[in-house]
Amino acid sequence: MVFIPHLSDRTLSHDIGSVILGFGVDPALQTNFFNEFQLGESFDGVSQVHGFHNGSKAFLFQDTSRSIKASPDVAERVLQKLRNKQEFTILVTLKQEWLNSGVILSIHHADQRFLELESSGHRNEIRLHYRTKSQQAHTEVFPYILADNQWHKVSIAVSASHVILHVDCNRIYERIVETPSMNMPGDATVWLGQRNNAHGSFKGIMQDVQLLVMPQGFISQCPDLNRTCPTCNDFHGLVQKIMELQDILAKTSAKLSRAEEKMNSLDQCYCERTCNAKGNVYRAFESWTDGCKNCTCMNGTVQCETLICPPLQCAPDSVLAYVSEACCKECQPMCIFSGRVYLDEERQAMFTSSGVCLLHECRDRTMRRITYPSCPELNCAPSQQITLGNSCCKVCKGYDFCADGHHCMDHSECMNLEAGACCSCKDGFRALREDNAYCEDIDECAEGRHYCRENTMCVNTAGSFLCICITGYIRIDDYSCTVETRKDKNQEAYSVGTLAKYEKLDHFDCPKNY
Rounded to an integer, what distance in angstroms lies between the CA atom of residue 17 and that of residue 223? 14
Q: 9: pLDDT confidence band, cut at 50, 70 and 90?
A: very low
In 3-state terms, what secondary structure has residue 496? Answer: helix
Predicted pLDDT of residue 452: 94
Segment 17-61, tens digit of pLDDT: 443 444 467 888 899 999 999 886 678 889 999 999 888 899 999
Taking CA atoms, 185 is separated from 129, 192, 446, in Å, by 17, 19, 40
Q: Is residue 142 part of a domain?
A: yes
**End-of-domain residue from the set 225, 248, 281:** 225
Predicted pLDDT of residue 38: 87
CATH code for position 476: 2.10.25.10
Segment 61-89, tens digit of pLDDT: 998 889 999 999 999 999 999 998 989 99
Helix (H) or strand (E) holding 155: strand 152-159
Name the pTM for this structure: 0.43
Main-chain dihedrals φ then ψ at residue 373, nearest 5 degrees: -65, 165
Predicted pLDDT of residue 228: 57
Rounded to an integer, what distance in angstroms lies between the CA atom of residue 468 and that of residue 458? 6
Q: Is residue 450 part of a domain?
A: yes
Predicted pLDDT of residue 227: 57
**End-of-domain residue from the set 225, 258, 278:** 225
DSSP 191-232: EESSSSSSS----EEEEEEEEESSTTTHHHH-GGGG--S--H
**End-of-domain residue from the set 225, 259, 294:** 225
Segment 103-145, tens digit of pLDDT: 999 999 988 999 999 998 788 999 999 999 999 999 999 999 9
Predicted pLDDT of residue 21: 40
Q: Is residue 165 part of a domain?
A: yes
Q: Which of 384, 382, 31, 79 is nearest to 208 (CA)?
A: 31
Q: Is residue 329 part of a domain?
A: no
User: CA 160, 166, 169 angle in degrees (round to 5)?
Assistant: 135
Main-chain dihedrals φ then ψ at residue 487, nearest 5 degrees: -105, 170
How would you write 137-153 as a 3-class SS string?
EEEEEEECCCCCCCCEE
Segment 403-450, tens digit of pLDDT: 988 889 889 999 999 989 999 999 999 998 899 999 999 999 999 999
Predicted pLDDT of residue 63: 86
**How many CA atoms lie within 13 Å of 350's alpha carbon, on the beta-carbon side?**
12
Count of structural domains within the chain: 2
pLDDT at 387 over 70: yes
Q: Is residue 91 part of a domain?
A: yes
**How many CA atoms lie within 13 Å of 509's alpha carbon, on the beta-carbon side?**
9
Helix (H) or strand (E) holding 95: strand 87-96
For residue 34, the cross-strand partners are: none
Q: Is residue 369 part of a domain?
A: no
Q: Could you give the percent of the chain with pLDDT greater than 90? A: 56
Main-chain dihedrals φ then ψ at residue 76, nearest 5 degrees: -65, -40
Query: What is the pLDDT averaged over residues 336-344?
Result: 91
Q: Residue 387: CB partners within 8 Å, gap ≥ 6?
A: 394
Predicted pLDDT of residue 98: 87
CATH code for position 209: 2.60.120.200
Q: Is residue 106 part of a domain?
A: yes
**Summary mean pLDDT of the chain:** 85
Q: Is residue 407 part of a domain?
A: no
Segment 271-318, tens digit of pLDDT: 778 999 888 999 989 999 888 889 999 988 999 888 888 899 999 999
DSSP assignment letter at 42: S
Domain range spanning residue 199? 9-225
Rounded to an integer, what distance in angstroms lies between the CA atom of residue 441 and that of residue 435? 16
